[in-house]
Amino acid sequence: MFNFQRFIVILCIAMVTACGGHSSVKPDTASTAKPAGSKGGGYYLDDGPGDNAPADIDSIPDAQLKTETPLSRPNQPYMALGKKYVPMTSYAPYAQQGIASWYGKRYHGKKTSSGEIYDMYGMSGAHTTLPIPSYVRVTNPANKRSVIVRINDRGPFKNDRLIDLSYAAAYKLRLISQGSGLVQVEWIDTSPEALQKMNTTQVATSASTAESIPVTYKETPPATTTPTPKDNIETPATSYYVQVGAFKNEANGNQLQNKILGLDLAGDAAVTNVYNNGIYRVKLGPFATKKEANASADKVRKQLNLSAIVTNQ
């Protein structure tokens, strides 16, 4: 009888060990991921890039910011690996530095905490407490590369990990080869008011970004010959202008023109959006002296963070 009871106990232990249950928490695969060709074989547990990866992953656009309502279920307090996590429910300034890991084809096509399907070539991420969904800017301080990802999953659940990234996001940050790396994570406020303010700022600085066209000017030095009374000749006065932007789109020139007028950066001089040979140029002037033009150009540079060139035409 004693031997039979002992057999039953051993059998139960064996069954419990074999059926220990499946955790919904993703295992820490990315921390030991190895690039193909490294000593010991390919990526850990066959994770890594897919067989039909896009030709140019760097061209995959960042997550597009938009106002979204936090989902109910994935934002409830929860337990993972014996630790309790309480997700944030409203925006607050958040900037943390820590280790980022990534997941590739091993989870491609599986459900995330949001119920959405994980796309390793999308710009997404997992965080333990940031709202689902929310948006963060992730920067690699080693190379200054930065991406924007949408948080739609929970994890990672190790004390030394801050965020899990999609394969594409990690690739653009150049974290693929080492499997993980130090990053800076900043939560982006996507409330309607914040997005409106963000769009207004982008319009004001558009002259130095996408629509701006570099134009090279060569100044003509003023005449150095001074007429004498005997010559009885008048030298025409030289007028100076400040060139702030050059655009293909007239609306962008008008917006910059109104911005400069609103901030009174030209003083008594005029601000015009001049069209010539398919280009709209925003000019301040004329100024009677080069010193006055330089002063106006300095104001533009300091207040608008734009390039400003002094010309005499």
Task: Write out the DSSP string of 81-144.
Answer: TTEEE----S----EEEEEEEEE-TTTTTSB-TTSPBP-TTS-EEE-SSS-SSEEEEEEETTTT
Give residue 191's pLDDT band: very low, low, confident or very high (50, 70, 90): very high
Q: Is the dihedral of CA 141, 143, 144, 149 positive or negative?
A: negative
CA dist., res. 167 & res. 48, Å (int):
8
Give residue 202's pLDDT band: very low, low, confident or very high (50, 70, 90): low
Q: What is the pLDDT of residues 83-110, one digit of tens each?
A: 999 999 889 999 999 999 988 777 888 8
Q: What is the pLDDT of residues 116-131, one digit of tens each?
A: 999 989 999 999 999 9
Which string of DSSP letters, residue by residue, matches 132-147? SSEEEEEEETTTTEEE
The partner residues of 164 in beta bridges, in order of sequence, read 101, 126
Quick one: how far is CA 57 from the chain centroid?
Answer: 16
Instruction: Give the mean pLDDT of 12-29.
Output: 39
Give residue 134's pLDDT band: very low, low, confident or very high (50, 70, 90): very high
Q: What is the pLDDT of residues 50-68, one digit of tens each?
A: 667 788 899 999 999 999 9
Higher pLDDT, 97 or 29: 97
Residue 182, SS3 per DSSP: strand
* pLDDT value at residue 23: 34
CA dist., res. 208 & res. 193, Å (int):
24
CA dist., res. 305 & res. 307, Å (int):
7
Instruction: Give the mean pLDDT of 226-231.
Output: 46
Torsion of CA 209, 193, 191, 62, to 10 degrees: -10
Q: Write the CATH number of the domain with boundaries 26-191.
A: 2.40.40.10
Q: Which amino acid is at 49?
A: P
CA dist 177 → 34, 172, 174, 263 (Å): 7, 12, 7, 49
- Locate CATH 3.30.70.1070 in the chain: 205-219+236-311
User: Tokens 């070539």 appear where?
Assistant: 121
- Locate CATH 2.40.40.10 in the chain: 26-191
Q: Write the CATH number of the domain with boundaries 205-219+236-311.
A: 3.30.70.1070
Q: Tell me the average pLDDT of the chain.
A: 77
* pLDDT value at residue 73: 93
Q: What is the pLDDT of residues 267-304, one digit of tens each?
A: 878 888 887 767 778 888 888 888 888 988 888 888 88
Helix runs in the chain, H state only: 2-18, 167-172, 192-204, 250-262, 290-304
- Tokens, residue 2: 């004693």
